Homo-oligomer: A and B are copies of this chain.
Amino acid sequence: MIEPSLAADAPRDEIERRLRQTEDELAQLSKISGGQELDLKDQIARLRARVDALRAALWRDPTPWQIVQVARHAERPKLPDYLSALFSDVVELRGDRLFADDRAIFCGLARFDGRAVAVIGHNKGKDTRENLERRWGMPNPDGYRKAIRVARLAEKIGVPVVALVDTPAAYPGIEAEQRGQAEAIARSILVMSQLRAPIVVAITGEGGSGGALAIAVGDRLLMMQYAIYSVIPPEGCAAILWRDAARKEEAAAALRLTAPDLLAAGIVDEIVPEPTGGAHLDAPTAIAALRDALRRALDAVREEEVPALLSERYAKFRRIGPFAG
């Protein structure tokens, strides 16, 4: 036991607090060691082991609900982190050319590995101001319509679409209903299903129902190891099923919303590994893993001719859904 004062069932945030503290100590020690040539090897090794143990403790056989919490973690890498780390020459394209520019969805052109792609992604904010402006990454109809416009541009100029999914849900607001939230989601699904350009989708955080699916129809579906993808938030499911939103842990388990569940169901094509405990604990490693997966997926889909791509894309969704008889 590295951390004898820590109970086996210590709460998550207590473990996290200790982990950060140990990480800080480790960083300081490493700095001293490097600068002053002191031999602190032993001490550093001890601290490093403690960090690993704490992470492992934090992440021993995580429950679906724990994974939900990681997927929603405030410090989980978000679209801007992926944009700046994975893409160059980023040019944001704004507006649906109809009504508004929805800040909850980012669209743009950029380079990945030096080659042009269109990027579409949910855009959660980092602080209150951003979150208000972006509705916590919950799109309005204008967002999907912007996505459709930019996807069509990608089709026209012959570049693949990279879609990064991270939304709690489509925004449940009066204006969203007035402007046709349902129509916009349905249309986006239809357009993406027929888009004559390769589409690679990565669910990086929350894949929240229709708001996620609207930009998650593509040729390859990657999913970060601790992302979730669900038809309804666990809280909503519990409220409907047991009239008790507090039973969200049970609902989270019942919904089979984790990456391995979705891989098994034939929905997800590949799981992108995350550092122990989740991407927020070591963003660069998580982002690098996504880079590798995106690179492989893009290389594969770029090879294919459009008609083959479209048939396979259709077939991919066509076969999801087991039944009897």
Contacts and interface: CB of A to CB of B under 8 A. Distances in A.
Contacts of A97: 180, 183, 187
Nearest to A178: B99
Give this chain's copy count: 2
Interface string A166-187: 0000000000000110010001
A183 B95 CA distance: 12
Main secondary structure of the interface of A (DSSP, over half): loop
Interface residues of A, number: 8
A99 B98 CA distance: 9
Interface string A132-150: 0000000000000100000
Contacts of A99: 98-99, 179-180
A149 to B, nearest CB: 11
Contacts of A187: 97
A97 B180 CA distance: 7
Given A97-B180, A97-B187, A98-B179, 4 more contacts: A97-B183, A98-B99, A98-B180, A98-B183
Interface of A: 97-99, 145, 179-180, 183, 187
12 contacts: A97-B180, A97-B183, A97-B187, A98-B98, A98-B99, A98-B145, A98-B179, A98-B180, A98-B183, A99-B99, A99-B179, A99-B180
